[in-house]
Amino acid sequence: MVAPLAVTAVVLQFVLARLAVVLDPVVRETRLTALTGNVEVAAQLVALLLVALFVTALGLLAQRTRARVVFEWFDRFVGLVPLVSVVYTGVRQVSNTLVSRDTRYRSAVIVEYPRPEVYSLGFLTGDAPEAAADLAGGEAYTVVVPHSPNPTAGHLVFVPADRVHETDLSVRDALRMVVTTGIAESESEMAAYRDSVDEGDLPSLD
């Protein structure tokens, strides 16, 4: 009983400390304490609301054609910054893949990997290079076998066509399975998983 409470207290303290770093400058520059009767907590809540509204407005602005060009240039700039680009690009790819209905993956498949009689979930991306097809003795495909729960990392393998097994999973459902380590693969199961996390029955993947 004590251990979860202690961990919860430490996590909340960490989150609040990080929020304070963002909110304190907003409170200070906008002089919100004068509007909230010098109540610091109330001023921080108002500042949090202002930040949320700003992020929402930024998202709406990013959907406009002219502004989208600016955001694309920003994307490219961040992608050139060492170390920062690794984290930013990885998170961006995961969020885009899970949100977008469009994907470059053709289908979700099952292949024998990393050894015979062990099967892995993968994504078919196209035909294998001619050299790989020659080694396979016939038609072969390029398959990405993602790591779980981070689908942006994984292995690129060339698999003979007769060893690539189709599944009834859509690409989005298969990605959900990878991200949730097999706990959820459909929208309803994802919702049930989130409810379980909220209730403390399952660990969060964040």
Q: What is the mean pLDDT of the chain?
A: 79
Among the listed residues 140, 143, 144, 135, the one whose alpha carbon sits nearest the alpha carbon of residue 162: 140
Strands (E), the chain: 107-112, 119-127, 140-146, 154-160, 165-166
**Cis-peptide, bond into residue 114, ω within 30° of zero:** yes
Instruction: Kindly compute the dihedral angle of the four CA atoms of residues 76, 79, 81, 84, in this order, to the nearest 10 degrees.
Output: 140
4-35, pLDDT tens digit by residue? 888 888 887 887 778 777 777 877 777 777 77
pLDDT digits (tens, 9 = 90+) for 67-111: 777 777 887 888 788 877 777 777 777 666 656 555 567 889 999
Question: N- to C-terminal Cα distance for the chain?
Answer: 23
**Greatest C-alpha distance within the chain:** 78
Instruction: Report which listed range, 5-9, 53-57, 142-146, is most confident.
Output: 142-146
Phi, psi of 130 (to 5 degrees): -60, -35
Report how far residue 127's alpha carbon sits from residue 171's, in angstroms, rounded to the nearest whole number.
18
Say if residues 161 and 139 touch (Cβ distance below 8 Å): yes
- pLDDT for 204: 47
Q: SS in 3 state form for 58-93?
A: HHHHHCCHHHHHHHHHHHHHHHCCCCHHHHHHHHHH
Q: Which CA distances in Å does 80 have to 34, 48, 73, 95, 153?
A: 42, 31, 11, 20, 19
pTM of the prediction? 0.44
Do 183 and 193 meet the contact criterion of CB atoms below 8 Å apart? yes
